[in-house]
């Protein structure tokens, strides 16, 4: 199975069902079976004209068969005994016409039974391989099978019985459930050959999708689409990207499906393609009857993984199509013999050459770069290169902007290049590493299903000089571990951390133009990140981040709290402190200057102003100010003041208690 097809299969995540025929031990040395990995057999185990790679019989043993259409071959599972849902002995019992529990000459169909000894193990019936029971010397088969829990070369044996030889001895017949690969298939059905397909791109099919040249012989619309793609391959890149998708959906017979028929989380046409391309029906492993939806409709979490699988399949097919059609991308080649996309030299050189031709990614060359990145991703899959190594190669040989876009594409994210050159990454990913840098100005990872909360567990990498970046993360999981990772050159001591009036968390690195904004992180734990990590090994958890944001400096600060129970302090300088809901505590010590406190919480909150040692009740004079709306607390002998905004007017304004170091509480 090719790398892109395997990636798609991993996304669908279905476990292939073993399939049961009956196997006879013809030489008395025990049942001999080959494992799936060692087998060279392909056989139509599902009677759908696609032969699957399968575990198989070996060692001179045979398969019990019946040539139902009389063509001298065993064509598919209907001419063996057993299938994916019914064991072989149950199927064979239908031929017990006299009901005596034995298949022998007293049964009408006994003479039609055959033994298939597949001597070369290829899953294809050669003339000398199919013999009658009489020719093999078998006189009867006992249907009274007993259960078995054997496993032979990865193939399970569910039951065992005996068959009789003409000399009176017996042998073993078992119900063997062959391991098989629903993705690794070959089309074995009929088709009418058209010479028009010979000069067009050819791609190997998988699952229930035949090789492209076979499909073109069966589907005139598909033939026209491939011809049109080849004729216009070096015209508009955006059109090429769109045409490839349309071609994929026509190839798999998915183009007429209602795109919303599998729910609102994933395109039903793309899901149908993935199911047919992998040969596996999707079933949501995270199914828990949310909102009464069927398990065949992807939930939020599965949809993210399916998006990654679709991208891998799309990249692999697109690369093979356009390179065979003559797309102008000489840095990459398609090796038909190995079915691999490869760089002409190496990936780094390929990107150096392309960057010299195209330059930095812009709104005008965005589609060209997307094609390059997707073809390169197909090569990455075939080279078995990790996503991080791939992104790093692009960053060093092309640009940080392209590396960031590549990290987004690998994770199933969308990207937009705006007219001013700024780049926005958006979507939802899981366990992914996304890179800022270059012209990336926003990264949005916003979950949309609080009924089935995922855990994103994503990492966003930011390096010194990466500029202004807005990060919008919404993660409903209680176990989320989303991380902002700083690269070399950004130390914990460099950061200035604060909340703004919108409860966005801002981080300034000290480098000119470097500022990160974590949208709404101060509103609740649903937003922002749970950790910030540094290259020196330091890690800040969410509580540490919030505490730093709620502490002022020696200058004039604006300090904002969160929706939780906050500890707010401005330190020296003339500071503005604003709390939200929760039981907030505002600290003020001698020499802290002139602070203004406004608490915007609920009436049930208990908010406190706590004076440090050296400030006694007798030192504090309380007067009204701001036309009677505020209270001004003046501290004798220091010149320090605290203004409680709207303490007089609103039940939620100001504080509920003033606490002194000597224990006095107002």
One domain, residues 502 and 557: no
509 in a structural domain = yes
One domain, residues 534 and 607: no
Arithmetic mean of pLDDT, 268-276 = 97
Per-position DSSP letters for 453-512, written without gaps between them: ------EEEE-TT--EEEEEEE---TT---EEEE-TT--GGG-EEEE-TTS-EEEE-SST
569 in a structural domain = yes
179, two tokens: 């391991």
Whether the per-residue pLDDT at 291 is higher than 60: the answer is no
Mean pLDDT score across all residues of the chain: 91
pLDDT of 53: 98
pLDDT of 556: 79
CA distance 594 to 627: 19
Residue at which a domain ends, from 549, 584, 601: 549
One domain, residues 626 and 505: no
Whether the per-residue pLDDT at 385 is higher than 90: the answer is yes
DSSP collapsed to 3 states, 292-311: HCCCCCCCHHHHHHHHHHHH
pLDDT of 128: 94
One domain, residues 578 and 536: no
Q: Which of 40-49, 115-124, 406-415, 598-607 has the lowest mean pLDDT?
A: 598-607
Report the share of the chain in percent with pLDDT over 90: 72
One domain, residues 554 and 537: no
pLDDT of 156: 97
Orientation angle between helical segments 366-383 and 400-410, nearest 10 degrees: 60
Q: Are residues 141 and 159 in contact, defined by beta-carbon separation less than 8 angstroms?
A: no
Whether the per-residue pLDDT at 290 is higher than 60: the answer is no
123, two tokens: 């899953």
State how far the alpha carbon of 133 is from the alpha carbons of 66, 112, 331, in Å: 11, 9, 60
Whether the per-residue pLDDT at 172 is higher than 80: the answer is yes
Reported as a single tens digit per residue, the pLDDT across 539-549 is 999 989 988 88
pLDDT of 286: 60
425 in a structural domain = no
CA distance 467 to 443: 13
Domain tally, the chain: 3
CA distance 470 to 441: 6
Reported as a single tens digit per residue, the pLDDT across 395-453 is 999 999 999 999 999 988 899 999 999 999 988 777 888 999 889 999 998 755 444 44
337 in a structural domain = no
One domain, residues 36 and 124: yes
Q: Which residue has the higher pLDDT, 300 or 232?
A: 232
pLDDT of 363: 96
One domain, residues 173 and 58: yes
Whether the per-residue pLDDT at 1 is higher than 80: the answer is no
Orientation angle between helical segments 300-325 and 268-278, nearest 10 degrees: 70
Q: Which of 31-40, 61-70, 104-113, 574-583 has the lowest mean pLDDT?
A: 574-583
One domain, residues 543 and 557: no
Arithmetic mean of pLDDT, 44-48 = 97
pLDDT of 288: 53
One domain, residues 36 and 140: yes
pLDDT of 294: 67
Give the residue numbers spanning the domain of 652: 550-659
Report the share of the chain in percent with pLDDT over 70: 97
409 in a structural domain = no
341, two tokens: 């996309």
Whether the per-residue pLDDT at 289 is higher than 60: the answer is no
Whether the per-residue pLDDT at 301 is higher than 90: the answer is no
Whether the per-residue pLDDT at 513 is higher than 90: the answer is no
Reported as a single tens digit per residue, the pLDDT across 12-27 is 876 788 999 999 999 9
pLDDT of 447: 57
386, two tokens: 């990790």
Arithmetic mean of pLDDT, 148-161 = 97
DSSP collapsed to 3 states, 49-116: CEEEEECEECCCCEEEEECCCCCCCCCCHHHECCCCCCCHHHHHHHHCCCCCCEEECCCCCHHHEEEE
pLDDT of 285: 66
559, two tokens: 């300090």
Residue at which a domain ends, from 122, 145, 178: 178
Residue at which a domain ends, from 178, 206, 223: 178
607 in a structural domain = yes
Reported as a single tens digit per residue, the pLDDT across 594-633 is 999 998 777 778 999 999 999 999 999 999 999 989 999 9
pLDDT of 650: 78
Indicate the pLDDT class of residue 653, thresholds 50, 70 and 90: low
User: Between the ranges 111-120, 282-291, 436-445, 568-577, where is the mean pLDDT highest?
Assistant: 111-120
271, two tokens: 């899901």
Per-position DSSP letters for 258-296, written without gaps between them: -TTTT-SSS-HHHHHHHHHHHT-----TT---GGG--TT
242, two tokens: 């769109």
One domain, residues 167 and 22: yes
Q: Are residues 123 and 50 in contact, defined by beta-carbon separation less than 8 angstroms?
A: no
159 in a structural domain = yes
One domain, residues 161 and 119: yes
CA distance 99 to 162: 17
57 in a structural domain = yes
User: Between the ranges 265-274, 501-510, 565-574, where is the mean pLDDT highest?
Assistant: 265-274
pLDDT of 305: 86
Per-position DSSP letters for 519-556, written without gaps between them: TTTTT-TTBS-SEEE-TTS-EEEHHHHHHHHTB--SS-
Whether the per-residue pLDDT at 389 is higher than 70: the answer is yes
What's the farthest any 2 CA atoms get from each other in the chain?
Answer: 119
pLDDT of 451: 43
Whether the per-residue pLDDT at 96 is higher than 90: the answer is yes
Whether the per-residue pLDDT at 454 is higher than 60: the answer is no
CA distance 383 to 381: 5
Rg over alpha carbons for the chain, rounded to the nearest Å, is: 35
Whether the per-residue pLDDT at 80 is higher than 90: the answer is yes
One domain, residues 25 and 173: yes
């Amino acid at each position: 199975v090719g790398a892109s097809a395997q990636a798609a299969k991993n996304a669908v995540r279905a476990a292939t069902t073993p399939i049961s025929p009956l196997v006879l031990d013809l030489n008395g040395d025990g049942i001999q079976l080959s494992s799936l990995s060692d087998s060279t057999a392909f056989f139509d185990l599902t009677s759908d004209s696609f032969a699957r790679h399968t575990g198989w019989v070996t060692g001179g043993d045979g398969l019990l068969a019946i040539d139902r259409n009389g063509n001298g071959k065993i064509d598919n599972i209907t001419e063996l005994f057993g299938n994916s849902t019914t064991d072989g002995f149950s199927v064979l019992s239908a031929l017990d016409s006299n009901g005596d529990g034995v298949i022998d000459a007293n049964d009408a169909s006994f003479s039609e039974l055959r033994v298939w000894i597949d001597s070369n193990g290829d899953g294809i019936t050669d003339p000398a391989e199919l013999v009658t029971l009489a020719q093999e010397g078998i006189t009867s088969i006992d249907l009274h099978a007993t259960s078995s829990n054997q496993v032979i070369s990865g193939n399970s044996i569910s039951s065992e019985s005996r068959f009789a030889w003409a000399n009176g001895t017996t042998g073993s017949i078992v119900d063997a459930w062959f391991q098989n690969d629903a993705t690794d298939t070959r089309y074995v059905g009929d088709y009418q050959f058209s010479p028009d397909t010979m000069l067009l791109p050819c791609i190997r099919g998988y699952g229930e999708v035949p090789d492209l040249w076979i499909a073109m012989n069966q589907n005139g619309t598909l033939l026209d689409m491939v011809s049109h793609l080849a004729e216009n391959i070096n015209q508009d890149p955006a059109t090429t990207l769109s045409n490839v998708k349309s071609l994929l959906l026509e190839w798999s017979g998915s183009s007429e499906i209602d795109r919303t028929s599998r729910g609102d989380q994933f395109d039903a046409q793309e899901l149908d393609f993935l199911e047919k391309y992998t040969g596996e029906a999707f079933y949501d492993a995270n199914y828990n009857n949310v909102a009464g939806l069927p398990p065949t409709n992807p939930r939020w979490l599965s949809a993210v993984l399916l998006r990654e699988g679709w991208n891998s399949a799309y990249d692999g097919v697109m690369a093979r199509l356009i390179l065979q059609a003559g797309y102008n991308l000489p840095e990459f080649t398609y090796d038909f013999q190995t079915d691999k996309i490869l760089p002409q030299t190496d990936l780094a050189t390929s990107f150096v050459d392309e960057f010299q031709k195209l330059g930095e990614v812009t709104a005008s060359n965005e589609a060209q770069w997307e094609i390059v990145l997707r073809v390169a991703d197909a090569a990455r899959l075939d080279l078995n290169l990790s996503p991080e190594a791939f992104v790093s190669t692009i960053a060093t040989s092309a640009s940080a902007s392209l590396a960031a876009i590549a990290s987004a594409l690998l994770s199933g994210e969308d990207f937009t290049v705006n007219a001013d050159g700024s780049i926005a990454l958006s979507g939802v990913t899981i366990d992914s590493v996304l890179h800022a840098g270059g012209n990336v100005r926003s990264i949005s990872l916003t979950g949309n299903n609080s009924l089935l909360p995922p855990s994103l567990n994503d990492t966003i990498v930011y390096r010194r000089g990466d500029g202004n970046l807005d990060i919008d993360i919404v993660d409903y999981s209680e176990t989320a571990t989303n991380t902002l990772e700083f690269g070399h050159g950004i130390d914990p001591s460099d950061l200035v951390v604060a909340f703004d009036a919108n409860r966005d968390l801002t981080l300034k690195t000290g480098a000119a133009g470097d500022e990160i904004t974590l949208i709404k992180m101060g509103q609740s734990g649903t937003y922002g990140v749970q950790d910030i990590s540094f290259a020196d090994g330091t890690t800040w958890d969410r509580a540490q981040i919030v505490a730093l944001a709620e502490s002022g400096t020696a200058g004039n600060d604006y300090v904002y709290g969160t929706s939780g129970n906050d500890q707010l302090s401005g330190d020296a300088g003339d500071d503005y402190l604003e709390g939200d809901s929760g039981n907030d505590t505002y600290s003020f010590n001698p020499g802290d200057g002139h602070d203004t406190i406004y608490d915007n919480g609920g009436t049930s909150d208990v908010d406190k102003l706590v004076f440090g040692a050296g400030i006694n009740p007798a030192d504090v004079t309380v007067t009204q100010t701001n036309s009677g709306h505020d209270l001004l607390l003046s501290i004798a002998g220091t010149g320090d003041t605290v203004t409680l905004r709207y303490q007089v007017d609103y039940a939620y304004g100001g504080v509920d208690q003033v606490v002194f170091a000597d224990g006095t509480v107002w």
